[in-house]
Amino acid sequence: VNLGRASRADLARKIVGILRLPCTVIGVSTEEYNQTHRNGVITAERPPDCSLSISAANGSYTPRPWDVALHHYLTGKIPPV
Q: In the chain, which residue ranges form alpha helices assigned H by DSSP?
A: 8-19, 30-37, 66-75
Residue 2 has pLDDT above 90, yes or no: no
pLDDT, tens only, 14-32 = 999 999 999 999 998 888 8
- The per-residue pLDDT for 51 is 83
Task: Write the pLDDT tens digit of every residue in 30-63.
Answer: 888 888 888 888 877 777 788 888 888 777 878 8
Residue 1 has pLDDT above 80, yes or no: no
